[in-house]
Amino acid sequence: MKEMNNIEKYTDKEWEDLSSLLSEEQNDNKDLLSRFMAEDSHDTIKYWKELKEMNSEKEIDVDKAWNSLYSRLTVNGLIAEAPVVRRSFIRTVYFRIAALVLLLLGIGSVLVYLNDKGILSRKTIVATTENQKNLQVILPDGSNVILNRNTRLSYRENFGRSGRNVALSGEAFFEITSDKENPFIIDAGKARVKVLGTSFNVNTNNADSAVEVFVKTGTVLVSDNEGTRSLTLDPGYIGTMNSGSSDKFLNNDPNYMAWNNGVLIYDGQTLDVVIRDLKKVYNMDIIADDPGILENTWTTNGPVDNAPRETIIRLICASFNLSYTKDGNVYHLAEK
């Protein structure tokens, strides 16, 4: 009955304030309320109200409020001395441990992702050709590349997973697998070649150091390294890019790709043009002992398709009544 009498001493307003405060507390705090209710004093409610007013404009620190309340009630002899709540410290330690675990898990996930994409890989794959033969390279995305002699192609081990970038020095013919979301990019020294899916030839061996691009199919974008100049090339066009100049024009050389396909065809070209082509396709030197020989023009009856070099020399000599001698890899042409 004493407990009921004490309860009746509290006003409705005091109970309203107390209920409002306790509705935001944890369940374990309500056990302490029962102890306060057994006390024959309004100080309990007054302390609760003071704590509520103190925290009305900020988020309530539950542990701090309970510690303050315990201290004041103990001093006034309302309850026996109780230990200070230290859940805040323990909770902070738990939070720090949890944050560290989450951080480590996050870092681990990022490393796994980067490794899967190959971004962490620094290995570079290099393909080079010898002086006497071409080389076919199949890239990881299925793109086909034919390297001319004395050519170097390099790309990262993560090719295709983190971009499709290659570096080229020399001459190569590319047949690129289409991927609209992942453009194929060639670093060709003084120029940058960008495509989505097409076939084209890139040559960095020009005497003036210009990068030359011939497009067979599709569309190719060629730009300088600074991105200030660019050329858009359609099939049949050649584009050149140098440090201070750029140009594009329609290709009129039927033998431009002879180094790759081995097919030669002539219709009234002079012998100096023929000799230039043979040197590029067969990697041999031809010297005319009489410069007048070079003024002759040559017309073939059809394509000369991958004929041996000796066969080509004999065809030329038979067409112009010439003779030849061979000294190593050098052929000398002379009039009979």
CATH number of the domain within which 314 lies = 3.55.50.30
Reported as a pLDDT band with limits 50, 70 and 90, residue 44 is low
Is residue 81 predicted with pLDDT exceeding 70? no
62 with 175, same domain: the answer is: no
Cα–Cα nearest to 82, from 93, 104, 66: 66
Buried b (16+ CB within 10 A) or exposed e, 155-188: bbebbbbbbbbbbbbbbbbbbbbeeeeeebbbbb
8 with 67, same domain: the answer is: yes
Domain that holds residue 155: 124-250
Q: For strands 164-169 and 144-147, give the pairing.
A: unpaired
Is the pTM above the cut of 0.85?
Answer: no
Give me the chain's average pLDDT, please: 78
Mean pLDDT of 43-70: 53
Reported as a pLDDT band with limits 50, 70 and 90, residue 120 is very low
145 with 245, same domain: the answer is: yes
Reported as a pLDDT band with limits 50, 70 and 90, residue 4 is very low
Is residue 112 predicted with pLDDT exceeding 90? no
Where is average pLDDT lowest: 97-106, 139-148, 165-174, 315-324?
A: 97-106
Q: What is the CATH number of the domain that holds 161?
A: 2.60.120.1440
Cα–Cα nearest to 310, from 290, 335, 329: 329
Check residue 244 and give its pLDDT: 83
Mean pLDDT of 56-81: 53
Cβ of 128: how many Cβ atoms within 10 Å? 13
Where is average pLDDT lowest: 93-97, 246-250, 301-305?
A: 93-97
Buried b (16+ CB within 10 A) or exposed e, 78-94: bbeeeeeeeeeeeeeee
Check residue 3 and give its pLDDT: 44
Q: For the chain, what is the domain count?
A: 4
135 with 246, same domain: the answer is: yes
Per-residue model confidence as pLDDT tens digits over 270-294: 999 999 999 989 888 999 999 999 9
Output the CA torsion sign for 97, 100, 104, 106. positive
With 0-12 / 13-18 / 19 or more C-beta atoms within 10 angstroms meaning exposed / middle / buried, residue 334 is middle
222 with 241, same domain: the answer is: yes
pLDDT > 90 fraction of the chain, expressed in percent and rounded: 46
Nearest-Å Rg of the Cα atoms of the chain is 43
153 with 233, same domain: the answer is: yes
Is residue 57 predicted with pLDDT exceeding 50? no
Check residue 73 and give its pLDDT: 52
Is residue 9 predicted with pLDDT exceeding 60? no
With a CB cutoff of 8 Å and minimum separation 6, the contacts of 257 are 173, 201, 214, 216, 263
Is residue 212 predicted with pLDDT exceeding 60? yes
Reported as a pLDDT band with limits 50, 70 and 90, residue 61 is low
128 with 246, same domain: the answer is: yes
133 with 245, same domain: the answer is: yes
283 with 317, same domain: the answer is: yes
268 with 212, same domain: the answer is: no
140 with 229, same domain: the answer is: yes
Is residue 121 predicted with pLDDT exceeding 80? no
284 with 330, same domain: the answer is: yes
